[in-house]
Structure 1
Amino acid sequence: MRAIILAAGLGLRLQQPPGEQFPKCLLRFDGITLLERHLQMLEAVGVDEVVLALGFQPEQVEAELTRAGRKVPEIKLNPRFDLGSVLTVHTVADALTRGGDVLLMDADVLYDERMLAALVAGEHANRLLIDRDFEAGDEPVKLCLKQGVPIELRKQLAVGLDYDTIGESVGFFRFTEAAARRFAEIVAGYVDSGRANLPHEEAVRDLLLERSHAFDTADVTGLPWIEIDFPNDVARATKEVLPQLQRPALHEALKR
């Protein structure tokens, strides 16, 4: 299994002071960067092949990995990181299509390791994570199910959409080899048709609605996590999410 971590964006909504901006994956919580947490937890569940999709200040990310004494994983650069994440995913097409199950993960998430365990469980799967306890509004990417089948994945839902379960989609996806190849084709179509500025969730949505590959969902309701986009998210991550994270033994290992 291979993990692709999307960490190319500028993170403008975080409102970092001009001249002091750095990639969001290098945000520290209790002294540990988000990226290091990702890498440690991936190792803990047996995922040792990692591809980093970088764009904004990649040298800072490489320097931090070196400082931490970690071997720098495979890196793919998106020089147009100011555009949408579809283009970033397109830059890692080779990693999507080289075989085996693939995890596609946003880098700006602080999360409990049980969420990752739910994502990787089982031999082969196409899987999404759903949190049914979420704050309504325009920001969350909603995942809607009908009799357990994903039928919508979008921030804005069509009026009258028929579903029986709704939650927020965590920014992590798992694809089988065949589904990952098809996903890469869809993403390439977006780029070729001038839609590279869109979020990659739109391409995931297309894959879901094709029904060419069956997807299951893992319910992670009740587990602590937060996607970090705004300054208030940093405060919430520190005060609310971090204290709830499981496994103090892993936490201590991360700090060393």
Structure 2
Amino acid sequence: MSKRAVILAAGVGQRLQLAADAPAPKCLLRFDGRTLLERHLRLLRAVGVEDVVIVVGYEHQQIADELDRLDWTPRPTLILNPQYRQGSVVSVAAAESALCAGGDVLLMDADVLYDVRMLAALVADDSADRLLLDAGFEAGDEPVKLCLRDGRPVELRKKVADGLRYDHVGESVGFFRFTQASATRLAQIVRQYAQTQRGGEPHEEAVRDLLLESPERFACADVTGLPWLEIDFPVDVIRAREVVLPQLHPLL
């Protein structure tokens, strides 16, 4: 089954508080001499994914310039989200053509430093939509929680409602794999968000809607113990360099 990756890289990254004299999307942060964007492309290639779409917005020319520098072939397609200051659901809506073009779709946050084994787990099973769960997360308001009951997902939110029954919980890694039918359905859901007053919401809310419609479609891969980090704050950059990076499998 063909696979396409849609990388969400449109946001400003205000919480990271990048220096005013060096504005850049977070995917251009460098670790061991390589940008997060280059790492995405190399790791996707390692698991057989060459068709890459990047949703851009803030300082999008810098991303185009990085692709020029990399001279990556085949060159990823850039889709501009001019409403990039809204919620990430609008970025997913901007990628409707990529969601509906056929084949499986990997939906990925751009601001994550991670190991190739996580992508291998994401693409391992072609029979179902797929989520990644890290049970070793630190509790708090920031992580998006993925709750399971009898092996099936029952919640995907930062705040879990009181009284929800579940027997396993972890942090949802910001990567999803959708079969062709589910990717098309997700495109319909995010279009509804963008056309109403819900355009300011994170895209995980739309994924949650899809998940709760048909939880039996979803499989979860436990990636507890594998090194990864979503980079939101300045302290995350330090932790990524000092803790996560030394644990990663070498890039090809």
TM bracket, shorter-chain basis? over 0.9
Q: Matches of 1:107 and 1:140 in 2, distance apart?
A: 16
- Counterpart code for 2:128: A
Q: Is the 8 A contact 1:179 1:213 kept in 2?
A: no
The secondary structure found in structure 2 opposite 1:16 is coil
Under a length normalisation based on structure 2, what TM-score does the superposition of the two structures give?
A: 0.96
Q: Would you say 1:43 and 2:41 are equivalent positions?
A: no
Percent of pairs with identical residues: 62
Q: Matches of 1:35 and 1:147 in 2, distance apart?
A: 36
- Counterpart code for 1:235: I
Structure 2 residue runs of 5 or longer lacking an equivalent are: none
Q: Aligned-residue CA RMSD in angstroms?
A: 1.1
Give the structure 2 partner of residue 13 of structure 1: 15
- Counterpart code for 1:226: L
Q: Matches of 1:220 and 1:90 in 2, distance apart?
A: 28
Give the structure 2 partner of residue 140 of structure 1: 143
The secondary structure found in structure 2 opposite 1:127 is strand
Residue by residue over 1:195-248, the C-alpha shift from the partner in whole angstroms, topping out at 9 and shown as x without a partner, is 1110000000001111276100000000000000000000000000000002x3
Find 1:63's aligned residue among 62, 65, 69.
Answer: 65
Q: Answer with 7-16 or 67-76: which moved more.
A: 67-76
Runs ≥4 residues deviating over 3 A: none
The secondary structure found in structure 1 opposite 2:49 is coil
- Counterpart code for 2:160: L
Residue by residue over 1:114-141, the C-alpha shift from the partner in whole angstroms, topping out at 9 and shown as x without a partner, is 0000001133420000000000000000
Report 1:201-220 matches (<5 A): 201-211=204-214, 214-220=217-223
- Counterpart code for 2:197: G
Q: Answer with 68-77 or 214-223: which moved more.
A: 68-77
Q: Is the 8 A contact 1:50 1:74 kept in 2?
A: yes
Find 1:113's aligned residue among 116, 119, 123.
Answer: 116
Under a length normalisation based on structure 1, what TM-score does the superposition of the two structures give?
A: 0.95
Structure 1 residue 102: Cα displacement? 0.4
Q: Is the 8 A contact 2:152 2:215 kept in 1?
A: no
Q: Is the 8 A contact 2:149 2:168 kept in 1?
A: yes
Q: Is the 8 A contact 1:143 1:150 kept in 2?
A: yes
Q: Matches of 1:122 and 1:25 in 2, distance apart?
A: 27
Residue by residue over 1:78-132, the C-alpha shift from the partner in whole angstroms, topping out at 9 and shown as x without a partner, is 0111110010000000000111110000000000100000001133420000000
Q: Is the 8 A contact 2:153 2:215 kept in 1?
A: no
Structure 1 residue 17: Cα displacement? 2.0
Report 1:121-140 matches (<5 A): 121-140=124-143
Structure 1 residue runs of 5 or longer lacking an equivalent are: none
Q: Answer with 229-238 or 17-26: which moved more.
A: 17-26
Give the structure 2 partner of residue 169 of structure 1: 172
Residues 45, 73 of structure 1: alpha-carbon distance in 2 compared, 3 angstrom cutoff = same
